[in-house]
Amino acid sequence: MKDRRKKNGVVSWSTFFLFTIVVFLSSIIFTALIFSSIYSFYIPHFHLPKTVFKWRTPTPPQITIRETVTLPDQVLIFLNYPLSFYHHTKNDLQCVYLSDDLAPQLTHEPIQLHSVRLHEQIVRCPMPPRGETVSLRIKSNITLQIKNSSIHNWDPLVYEALFDRDNTTIVFVKGLNLRPEKLSEPSRFQCVYGWDFTKPKFLFKSDVLSTAQEIIRCKTPPSILAQAQTHTQHEGFIKVSIQVEGKKIFPSIARPGIISLLKPPNRKPYELCICTMLRNQARFIKEWVMYHSKIGVERWFIYDNNSDDDIENVIAFLQSAGYNITWHLWAWVKTQEAGFAHCALRARASCEWVGFIDVDEFFNVKIKVDLRHVIWHYSNPEKKVAEIRTPCYSFGPSGLKDVPSEGVMMGYTCRLAGRERHKSIVRPDALNHTLINVVHHFHLKAPFVAVDVENGAMMINHYKYQVWKVFKEKFYRRVATYVADWQKEENVGSKDRVPGLGTKPIEPDDWSNRYCEVKDVSLRNWVLKNFKDKKTHLFPWQPGFELHLKKRQRQKEKGIL
Ligand SMILES: *[C@@H]1O[C@H](CO)[C@@H](O)[C@H](O)[C@H]1NC(C)=O
Ligand SMILES: *[C@@H]1O[C@H](CO)[C@@H](O)[C@H](O)[C@H]1NC(C)=O
Ligand SMILES: *[C@@H]1O[C@H](CO)[C@@H](O)[C@H](O)[C@H]1NC(C)=O
Ligand SMILES: *[C@@H]1O[C@H](CO)[C@@H](O)[C@H](O)[C@H]1NC(C)=O
Ligand SMILES: *[C@@H]1O[C@H](CO)[C@@H](O)[C@H](O)[C@H]1NC(C)=O
Ligand SMILES: *[C@@H]1O[C@H](CO)[C@@H](O)[C@H](O)[C@H]1NC(C)=O
C-alpha cells in the first residue's frame, strides 16, 4: 500500500512535516541573512558599497495574477493583493491582450470587478482575439506577469471546493461527464491537495467517499484539516484537485472555502432562506425580494452567473433597506446543480429550510399567507419530512406587449391550466451526502421523505412566458448541466422546450395571447391590497417609489431640524 502510494508521488506525513520544518528553518536563515546585510550596512567600518544593499533588497509586495480561466464568452482573472493594499476600482485597471509578435497591444475596459475573499479580486475581461492571452494593466503602465501554468480553460477544471463540517472536502468539477442522478464508483477517483500540481513530490492524496454528477466528496487529510481549523483567516491556503485512475491530475483553481465547521446551534437564526441563480435579472429582484420577505423569507443567497447589469447596486440598495441578501459570483458554465449544492451547504449553518426558486417564480400562499405556516403545517418531525414540494403554474404574456411597470405579479394574470414541475423547500441538514440534485430537487438521506403541498394550499406563480422582449433572453441561456441549448437542433421535442417555438429567437405573431387558458388574479389581488402605497399609488419596487421615499425622508429631516 505504502509503496503504491509512493509511486503516485505521495509523501508520507513524516516526510511532509520534515519538509515543513526545513522550509521553516531555511526561511529563518534567509531572513537572518537579509537582516544581517541591512545591519552590516549601518555599521560604519564595513563601508559596503551601496549596490550590495540594493541587490539584497527583497522585491516589494505586488499584486499578482493567481489564475486565469477562459469561459466561452469572457475571461476571469483572479488577482491576489498583498496585505496592506487597497483594492483597485474598474477605472484603475485595463485588460491587455498579448500576442506572440510585437504588434501594438490591444486594451479593453474590464466588464466588471468583484472583491471576493479578503485579499482577492476577480476581474472579468472580454474574450481575447484568437491566439492571444489576456493580462491586466494597472493605472495604465504596469502590466502584470502571468505564469503559463495559471492559464486554464473552463472545461476541464476543478473550480470550487468547500471543507465540510464532517471532515470531508467537497470538490466541484467540470469535465467529468458523469450521468445525472447516478452514483459513480468512488475508488476510480482520488482527491489531490497541493500548491503546485506539476510538482508531484509535494502532493497529498486522499480517498473519495462519493462521486455523483459534478461533485466529489473526499476525506480531508488530517494535517490539512488542522490547518483549516486554525487558519480561518487565511482561507484558501492550498488548492485541491482530483485525479481519475490512470489519468493526469485535473487542472484546478479551487482553494477550499470554509463553511462553518462548528456544530449548528440548536435553533438556527433563520427558518426560511432562498437560493437562486441568475444572470442579468437586476430589474426583477426588488419585487421578488420585497414580496417574499413579506410572506416569511428571511435570507437570500444570489448566485450570479456573470451579470453585467446593475445588480450590485440593486443588492446594495436592498441590503441598506434591511434585507439580508448576499451576492456570490458563480461564473461557471452550465453548473446550476453544483451551484445549488454549494448554496445549500452555505445556507445550512443559518437556515432551517431553504427554497430553490428562480427570480421569475413567486410562492402564492393561499392560507394564512406565511410560508412558515405552510412549513410548520407539513414538516411533521415524526414523519421525517425534509422536503416540501409546491406545484408550479406557468403564466403567459397575458395580452401585454411591454414590461408591466407595476411588476410581474400585477401584470401577468393569465396562465396555463395544467401544472408543471414542482419546486422544493428542503431541510439542508437532511440532504444526501452525494448532494445529487436535478431540476431543483435534491436527493435526501434516509429516513427523510418529501411531501406534496395539497392543491389549493400553495402554488408557485411562474412568470415563465413574459413579454417577448424579456422572454427571448431565454434562448441564449440554458443553465442546467443536463439540458440541451434551445438553439441546437437536438432534443427538439423535449419538455424543457417551449411548445410551439422553434430553435430561433423570432417573435411569433400571437405571442402576447399565448399560454392563456385560465384567468388567475389571486396573487394580483393580494399584492394590490398589501403593497400599493395609498398616497403615491406606487408599489415599493417601482423606481418612482424610492424617489418618493427619499423626498419624504428629507421633508421629515427638515421638519426635525
Ligand atoms: C506609472 O505611472 C506613474 C504616473 O503616471 C509613475 O509615477 C510611475 O513611475 C509609473 N510606473 C512605471 C513602472 O512606469
Ligand atoms: C506555455 O505557453 C505556450 C504558448 O504560449 C504553450 O505552447 C505551452 O504549451 C505552454 N506550456 C505549458 C507547460 O503549459
Ligand atoms: C473531525 O476531526 C477531528 C479531529 O481533527 C475530530 O475531533 C472530529 O471528531 C472529526 N469529526 C468527524 C465528524 O469525524
Ligand atoms: C445575514 O445572515 C447571516 C447568516 O446567514 C448572518 O451571519 C448575518 O449577520 C446576517 N446579516 C444581517 C445584516 O442581518
Ligand atoms: C451562465 O451563462 C452562460 C452564458 O449565457 C451559460 O453558457 C452558462 O451555462 C450559464 N451558467 C449557469 C450556471 O447559469
Ligand atoms: C444517498 O443517495 C444514494 C443514491 O441515490 C443512495 O444510494 C444512498 O442510500 C443515499 N444515502 C442515504 C444516507 O440515504
- Residue 488: predicted pLDDT: 56
More confident residue, 55 or 87: 87
Distance 141 CA to ligand 1 centre (A): 6
Question: How far does residue 269's CA lie from ligand 4's centre (Å)?
Answer: 9
Q: What pLDDT was estimated at residue 264?
A: 63
Q: Closest Cα partner for 176 from 158, 192, 153?
A: 158
**pLDDT tens figures, 235-257:** 457 899 999 999 999 999 999 98
Dist CA 241 CA 486 (whole Å): 32
Q: Are 232 and 225 in contact (CB under 8 A)?
A: no
Question: Would you tell me how many other CB atoms lie within 10 Å of the CB of residue 81?
Answer: 19
Residue with grid cell 463553511, as numbered in its chain: 259
Mean pLDDT of 363-377: 91
Residue 319 CA, closest ligand 4 atom number: 13
pLDDT of residue 245: 93
Q: Residue whose CA is closest, atom 8 of ligand 1?
A: 141
First to last CA, the chain: 79
Centre of ligand 1 to C-alpha 140, Å, is 8
pLDDT at 378 over 80: yes
Smallest CA separation from ligand 4 atom 6, residue: 350
Please tell me the number of the ligand nearest to residue 444's CA. 6
> Crossing angle, helix 282-294 and helix 311-320, to 10 degrees?
30
Residue nearest to atom 11 of ligand 4 (CA): 324
The number of beta carbons lying within 10 Å of the beta carbon of residue 86 is 7
pLDDT class of 477 with cuts at 50, 70, 90: low
Side chain identity at residue 445, one-letter code: K
Q: State which of 305, 481, 488 you would mutate to test the pocket of ligand 5, scoring each by most atoms of that ligand within 8 A of its C-beta.
A: 305
Residue 257 alpha carbon to ligand 3 centre in Å? 18
Structural domains for the chain: 64-153 (2.60.40), 157-258 (2.60.40), 270-519 (3.90.550)
Using CA positions, which residue lies closest to atom 12 of ligand 6?
Answer: 445
Residues contacting residue 238 through CB under 8 Å, at least 6 positions apart: 193, 194, 195, 224, 227, 255, 256
pLDDT tens by residue, 159-182: 999 999 899 999 999 999 888 888
Name beta bridge partners: 10. Answer: 203
pLDDT at residue 502, rounded to an integer: 63
- pLDDT tens string 278-290: 999 999 999 999 9
Is the pLDDT at 414 greater than 70? The verdict is yes
Q: Which of 167, 223, 225 to mutate to test the pocket of ligand 3 (most atoms within 8 A of CB)?
A: 167
Rounded CA-CA distance 533/527 in Å is: 11
Q: Determine the Cα–Cα distance for residues 348 and 476; give it in Å rounded to an integer.
A: 32
Strands (E), 177-317: 183-184, 189-194, 204-212, 215-219, 239-244, 257-258, 270-278, 299-304
CA of 94 to the centre of ligand 1 (A): 15
User: Which ligand 5 atom sits closest to the C-alpha of 277?
Assistant: 14
216, 416, 484 from 506: Cα distances, Å:
41, 22, 19
Instruction: Round to whole Å and give the CA distance between 425 and 274.
Output: 9
Q: Residue 144: phi, psi to the nearest 5?
A: -75, 150
Atom of ligand 4 nearest to the CA of 349: 5
As beta bridge partners, residue 218 has: 169, 208
pLDDT at 226: 81
List, for residues 430-442, the tens digit of each pLDDT value.
999 999 888 778 8
Residue 148 Cα to ligand 2 middle (Å): 6
Q: Which residue do the cell numbers 397575458 mark?
A: 398
Query: Sign of torsion, CA 343 234 215 154?
Result: positive
pLDDT above 60 for 462: yes
Question: Across residues 144-149, what is the average pLDDT?
Answer: 88
Question: What separation in Å is there between the alpha carbon of 12 and the centre of ligand 6?
Answer: 33
- What is the average per-residue pLDDT within 499-528? 87
- 176-229: per-residue pLDDT in tens? 988 888 888 999 999 999 988 888 888 999 999 999 989 999 999 998 888 777
CB 463 within 8 A of CB 523: no
The three three-digit cell numbers of residue 223, written as one number: 494535517
Q: Which atom of ligand 6 is nearest to the CA of 446?
A: 14
Ligand that comes closest to the CA of residue 152: 2
Q: Which residues pair with 173 in a beta bridge?
A: 158
Contacting residues for 105 by C-beta, under 8 A, at least 6 apart: 96, 97, 98
pLDDT at 27 over 70: no
Q: Supply the pLDDT for residue 58.
A: 63
Atom 10 of ligand 1, nearest CA residue: 141
The position carrying cell 410560508 is: 371
Residue 296 reports pLDDT greater than 80: yes
Residues in the chain: 561
Tell me which of 76, 279, 311 to substitute to probe ligand 5's pocket, judged by most ligand atoms within 8 Å of the beta carbon. 279
Does residue 539 register a pLDDT over 90?
A: yes
- Which residue is closest in CA terms to ligand 4's atom 8? 324
Proximal ligand: closest to the CA of 431: 6
Mean pLDDT of the chain: 84
User: Does 479 sit in the ligand 5 pocket, CB within 6 Å?
Assistant: yes
**What pLDDT digit, counting tens, does each position of 39-53 carry?**
333 333 333 333 334
Residues with CB under 6 A from ligand 4: 299, 324, 350
Q: What is the 433 CA–ligand 6 centroid distance (Å)?
A: 7
Q: What is the mean pLDDT of residues 70-99?
A: 91
Whether the predicted pLDDT of 145 surpasses 60 = yes
pLDDT beyond 70 at 536 = yes
Ligand nearest to the CA of 72: 5
Confidence of residue 486 (pLDDT cuts 50, 70, 90): very low
- Is residue 369 over pLDDT 60? yes
Residue 342 has pLDDT above 80, yes or no: yes
Please, are residues 394 and 416 in contact by the beta-carbon 8 Å criterion? yes
Model confidence at 37: pLDDT above 50: no
Q: Which residue has the cell 493605472?
A: 139
Question: Given this model, what pLDDT does residue 260 score?
Answer: 66
Matching residue, cell 491566439: 131
CB of 336 closer than 6 A to ligand 5? yes
CA distances from 91 to 66, 112, 134, 190 (A): 21, 10, 17, 43
pLDDT for 452 equals 94
Question: Is the per-residue pLDDT at 501 higher than 50?
Answer: yes
Pocket residues for ligand 6 (CB within 6 Å)?
Answer: 183, 432-434, 443, 445-446
From the CB of 62, is ligand 1 less than 6 Å away?
no
Is pLDDT of 5 > 70? no
Residues with CB under 6 Å of ligand 3 are: 166-167, 225
Which of 433, 436, 438 for a ligand 6 pocket mutation test, highest count of atoms within 8 Å of Cβ? Answer: 433
Full-model pTM: 0.82
Interval 52-61: pLDDT, tens: 344 445 667 8
